[in-house]
Amino acid sequence: MANKKHDLIDQNLQDLNNDGVDRRGFLKCMAWAGTGLVWTMSGGVPVSRAFAKNIGKDAGKGADFSFVQISDSHIGFNKPANPDVTATLQVAINKINAMPDKPDFIIHTGDLSQLSKPSEFDTLDQALKGATAKQIYYVPGEHDMLSDNGEQYLQRYGKATKGSGWYSFDHKGVHFVGLVNVANLKAGGMGSLGHDQLEWLEDDLHGRSASTPIVLFAHIPLWTIYPDWGWGTDDSEQALSYVKRFGSVTVLNGHIHQIMQKVEGKVSFHTAMSTAFPQPAPGSAPSAGPMKVPADQLQQVLGITDVNYVISGRSLAIVDSPLATSGS
């Protein structure tokens, strides 16, 4: 048993050291994982197509700016689904640093840690110090608020935030809102924003021009993906009612460790891959627990999300890239 585990770790480390998947192999892997998708929106008409050769490189061209979303690093997790989550986070950071168009900032959509331990947050901080994009915006996942009502999270990542860690900021004409839907969860329910935060959100958006592009980001999806597994937010509908009047709304989430997207009117929803381990498709397994894949396939189901904005054309492109592409 112990030997088997060691073999797995060795194999995994080997994979991490050798990410030289050739292009052909990479495209094959992409088909297997179904992860790559370029998604553009122009004048409210969404177009999505499979991520193919070179599209990733073109997606950022002519963009006014781009940023990267990473999610679910789960630093501290050490089970067979990925015995070295720090190493895969590092691969993600290397991938971000290698982007030809430098992202203005990084958004981390939560579950930084596995057990909210100071040492886990330390490890994450240390790794992210190596990112060339220095500005990082966070929202907490449920794993970051495990034992102290999020006190430590707030001390480290939420100093200038309100309530349990929500806030907004503007960047080059786009209004970003970080929401917290993992605090004070109620028995039998899903994610929850709560009355205070909803009131704040309404106030925060009040008086902004309808032509302002809005990006909402939170850990648990703000649309109901699979209620049996709690993959949704009980009071998200109210939050979304506040953004209905805006011409371009993008909602970025994590939590489910896989890509899902949906467009509803002018609101586009998107969930990111994890940098740590994949989770099963809704209902395809007895539970939402970590999904074990062969070690040589792990980096095809982990990844990062690159978001490009072309403000003048009001278009937006989201490119999800598995970690395994870093060598291609």
Partner 1 sequence: MRSRNVCVAILAATSVIAIVLLLAGSPIVRANDQPSAPRADVKIDNFSFGPQTITVPVGATVTWTNRDDIPHTSASTEGVFRSKVMDTDEKFSYTFTKAGTYPYYCTIHPKMTGQVVVK
DSSP at 245: T
- CA atoms of 165 and 167, how far apart (whole Å): 7
CA dist 227 → 222, 230, 257, 282 (Å): 12, 5, 16, 9
Site residues for partner 1 per CB under 8 A: 77, 79, 81, 114-116, 142-143, 146-147, 185-190, 227-230, 286-290
- In which element (H, E) is residue 41 found? strand 37-42
DSSP at 317: E
Minimum separation from the CB atom of position 220 to partner 1 (A): 11
- CA atoms of 71 and 181, how far apart (whole Å): 15
DSSP at 182: B
Structure tokens at 155: 């001390």
Minimum separation from the CB atom of position 291 to partner 1 (A): 10
Minimum separation from the CB atom of position 177 to partner 1 (A): 24
- CA atoms of 290 and 292, how far apart (whole Å): 6
Q: Which residues pair with 107 in a beta bridge?
A: 69, 137
Q: Determine the 3-state secondary structure of 95 from DSSP.
A: helix
Q: Of the two residues 79 and 208, which places its CB atom closer to partner 1 in the complex?
A: 79
Minimum separation from the CB atom of position 180 to partner 1 (A): 15
Minimum separation from the CB atom of position 192 to partner 1 (A): 8
Other residues' Cβ atoms within 10 Å of the Cβ of residue 216: 25
Minimum separation from the CB atom of position 147 to partner 1 (A): 6
Helix ranges, 1-98 (H): 2-17, 23-33, 55-59, 85-97
